[in-house]
Amino acid sequence: MLGWILYSKSKSELDELDNGVNRLLQAAEAKGITLEVFKPEEFELVVSRNDKKSIFINNKETAMPDFLIPRIGSQTSYFGLAVIRQIERLGVYSCNSSQTIEIVKDKLQMHQLLAHHQLPTPNTMLVKFPIDAGLVKQQIGFPLVVKNITGTEGKGIYLIHSEEQFVDLMELLYANNPASHVILQEFIQSSYGKDLRVFIVGGKVIGCIKRYSESSFKANFSRGGKVASYDLTPEIEHLATTTARLVNLDIAGVDILFDNEGFKICEANSSPGFKGLEKVIGHTVAEQILDYIVDRLERATTA
Ligand SMILES: Nc1ncnc2c1ncn2[C@@H]1O[C@H](COP(=O)(O)OP(=O)(O)O)[C@@H](O)[C@H]1O
Ligand SMILES: [Mg+2]
List residues, by chain if needed, whose CB lies under 5 Å from ion ligand 2: 255
Which pLDDT belongs to residue 51?
Answer: 65
Cis amide bond preceding 143, omega within 30 = yes
Give a three-class secondary structure readout of 230-270. Answer: CCCCHHHHHHHHHHHHHCCCCEEEEEEEEECCEEEEEEEEC
155-174 b/e (C-beta count within 10 Å ≥ 16 → b): eebeebeeeebbeeebeebe
Q: What strands lie across the sheet with 124-126, from one edge to the other?
A: 124-126, 182-186, 144-148, 157-160
CATH topology of domain 190-269+272-291: D-amino Acid Aminotransferase; Chain A, domain 1 (3.30.470)
Mean pLDDT, each 10-residue run in order, the chain (303 residues)? 97 97 98 98 84 85 96 93 95 97 96 97 95 96 95 89 97 92 96 98 98 95 92 98 98 98 96 97 98 97 82
Assign domain 123-187 to its CATH architecture.
2-Layer Sandwich (3.30)
Q: Does the Cβ of 187 fall within 6 Å of ligand 1?
A: yes
Domain 2-95 has CATH 3.40.190.10: no
Are the beta carbons of 223 and 153 closer than 8 angstroms?
yes
- What is the CA(147)–ligand 1 centre distance, in A? 9
Ligand 1, pocket-test mutation among 110, 146, 157, most atoms within 8 A of CB: 157
pTM: 0.96
Which pLDDT belongs to residue 156?
Answer: 87
Sequence ranges of the chain with CATH classification 3.30.1490.20: 123-187
* Ligand 1 atom 13 nearest Cα: 218
Q: Does the Cβ of 272 fall within 6 Å of ligand 1?
A: no
Which pLDDT belongs to residue 221?
Answer: 86
| Amino acid (one-letter) located at 241 | T
d(CA 89, CA 86): 5
Choose among 90, 94, 86, 70: nearest CA to 8.
70
